[in-house]
Structure formats: structure tokens, C-alpha cells
Amino acid sequence: MAIQVALVGTGLVGSAILTQLALPTIAKHTVLVSVSNSKRTVFSPSGISLPLAADFVQTKGTELALSQLVAQLKEIRGKAEKTVLIDSTASPAVANAYPEILKAGISIITPNKLALSSGSALFDSIQAALDADPSIRLLHESTVGAGLPIISTLNDLVRTGDKVKRIEGVFSGTLSYIFNNFSPATPPEEPPMFSDIVGQAKKLGYTEPNPHSDLSGSDVARKLTILARLLPETPIPLPEGYLSVPTSSLSPEGLETLEDGDEYVEKLKDSDVEFEQMRKRAEQMGQVLRYVGVVDVEKCTVQASLETYPATHPFATSLGGSDNIIAFHTERYSRPLIIQGAGAGAAVTAMGVMSDLLKLV
């Protein structure tokens, strides 16, 4: 029997998911029964044919609350071996509904980090729903590292009895791009200003509309929270989720209230001298600047911060563009197990979602 799939979210990643759902290797295992954007839903138990026109949901859909969609999916659940909701939104409302969705017997696959990096109340409700019915799953490979096998690798290490001592890496594709260009292993004769690189990253679509969201470090803190919670014993209590993670913000004081992204980049120029001084200090020591996240099990700490690394370190020499790189230090591996590659982008994020979907086959 095919897996019934309901997709919520039709933005860049959602559109890439629809494209990959149409691939023969995936389509033979699935039937798309619902597609929703932020306002409208198309629901068809007999299946929705792919590909879809760009305005399909807007023209064919009806207004439908998420709770109603969940009720409809619950009604048709018996027609398939599994029913899955793919949350491809950045919506707190959808994230908050995870316990309700799971209790309805519907598995969830998501690149949305909000629920799993939330405070303990929501996270514990999600875990309780999963524990109550072992047949349902919550899979989230794409919440950390897009399509990179970060979550699956950590799960494999833990489940096979290895002891993870430390997880360290460059988890933000945006901050990777910024510091790969601002503080490269081989410094250019005329290095660009920090604000210029942030502005370029914004033009390329690597940042959020307002770069403050990226420079605040909150995205890294969310990913660290997700990883820490996958360990048998969370290194430190995270009652407020990612808000409990000590996080060094690179966003200058006073700019966090600006709503316009272009104005933010313009005001960021006032801090160029300070960033340049940090870059020069690192260069004089033969080091580079990298924004990293660390889960240190032995020290019982989790933190996200700007750090220096030798110019010969893999974090300095192996990264390009918006790559992520994550190093697992464990008892079993005498040298760190390193995973590196594209950590952002709709196609690779959708690939991570599809890999999760195929785990249910």
C-alpha cells in the first residue's frame, strides 16, 4: 500500500518537495492526498496528480483549518499503510500542532526546526505522543544540515552504543558563507568589509529578508538544541529550548529592532571597524574566524559563538560557499567523524525530506 502524503507549505522547499515526489523512485511508494499553503488547502483522498501548476492551491483550494485537515487525514488513514504530514513551513502554529497530529496517528516529516527546538512543554508533549504509539514517526533529517546525513549519523552512533563526547561544527550556511569570505584561510590583499559581505549574502538569498535573524545565532542554537536532545542524556537542561543555549549574537546592539533588511545592512557599516579588528587579530595569529556550535557532553555545555581556528584546520580549509561541516568526537572514532557539504538550498533540503519519507517504505 502507498504512503498517503499531505504537504503543508508550498514555498521554495515545498515546491522542491513536490518536484521530488514526482520522481518515479518515490512516486511508486506514495500518493499525494493534500497540498496546503498558508491560506488554502486542496484535499483529495484519491490522489493529486503531479506536477502541479504554480497557482494550483490558490485556484483549486478552499479555506481549511489545520485541525480540520488533520481530522480528514485521520478519516482516510485506514486506506493506506501510513499517513504522513510533511511540514515545510516555518509556522509556529503548525509546530504547536505536532502533538495533535501525532495523536491522530499521522507521522510527521519536517525541515521545520521550531517544534523540536522549542521549550520543554511542547517537546515533552511531542515525545509523549510518540511513546504512546510506536507505529508513528517524527523524522527530521533536514532540520540540521539540510540534506546532509547529520541526524541519521548521530542516531546511528547512539543506537549502536558509541559514546558521543563532543559535536562541533559550522551549522549555518549563511554564517559559513559570510566568514568563508570575510576571514578566508588565505587572506586577500584587500579584504572586503563585513557589511559588504552580509549585503552580498542577502542579494544571493543566503540570509533571511532581515540579516539580523542570521547574525543573532538563533538558527545555530536551534540546531544545537535538536542535536543535544538526541543524545541519551542531554548535556544540560534546555527548559526553554534554544533560548536556553548560550548564544553570541553578531548583530550590533540597537539594530535588532530594525524591520527593513536593506536599512539593517546599511547600519551594519557602522560596525565594520570592529569586525575588521577581530579579523586582523585572528590573521596575525595564523587563524580564521568561524561561527560554530558545540555540544560538549563531557563538559555538559552547549553554546553557539564566534571562535578562531588555525588556518590549517578543516573548518578553515574545507569549507566553500555556504557549506556546513560537522565533526563528531566519539569513543569509537579515534579521529573525528566529519560530515561536510551543502547545508542550505531548497533541493538538498527536499532531498533530506525524501530520504526520511523512504525510511517509512
Task: Give the strands of the sheet with 82-87, arranged side by side.
Answer: 41-43, 30-36, 3-8, 82-87, 107-109, 138-139
Q: Which of 223, 267, 280, 299 is catalytic?
A: 223
254 annotated binding-site participant: no
10 annotated binding-site participant: yes
Residue 123 CA to its chain's centroid (Å): 16
Q: What pLDDT does residue 343 have?
A: 83
pLDDT in tens, 16-52: 999 999 999 999 999 999 999 989 999 999 999 999 9
pLDDT in tens, 297-330: 999 999 999 999 999 999 999 888 889 999 999 9
308 annotated binding-site participant: no
**All cell numbers assigned to 5:** 502524503
Angle 296-300-306 from CA coordinates, rounded to 5°? 50
Q: Let me know whether 163 and 124 are in one domain.
A: no
Q: What pLDDT does residue 214 have?
A: 93
Owning domain of residue 72: 3-146+348-360
Q: What pLDDT does residue 356 have?
A: 97
Q: Let me know whether 170 and 219 are in one domain.
A: yes
Q: Which amino acid is at 356?
A: D
Q: Let me know whether 190 and 208 are in one domain.
A: yes
Q: Let me know whether 85 and 198 are in one domain.
A: no
Query: Which residue's C-alpha cell is 543566503?
Result: 206
Residue 62 CA to its chain's centroid (Å): 30
DSSP H or E stretch at residue 214: helix 212-215
Is position 223 annotated as part of the catalytic site? yes
Is the distance from CB of 322 to CB of 173 less than 8 angstroms?
yes
Please state the length of the chain: 361
Q: What pLDDT does residue 287 have?
A: 97
List phi, psi (to 5°) of 6: -115, 125
Distance CA 42, CA 35 (A): 5
Residues of the chain with pLDDT under 50: none
Q: Let me know whether 298 and 204 are in one domain.
A: yes
13 annotated binding-site participant: yes
307 annotated binding-site participant: no
Neighbours of 245 (CB within 10 A): 25
Q: Let me know whether 25 and 68 are in one domain.
A: yes
CATH of the domain at 71: 3.40.50.720
Q: Let me know whether 158 and 194 are in one domain.
A: yes
Q: What pLDDT does residue 321 have?
A: 87
208 annotated binding-site participant: yes
Q: What pLDDT does residue 344 have?
A: 82
Q: What pLDDT does residue 99 have?
A: 98
Q: What pLDDT does residue 257 have?
A: 87
Handedness of CA 49, 52, 53, 57 (dihedral sign): positive
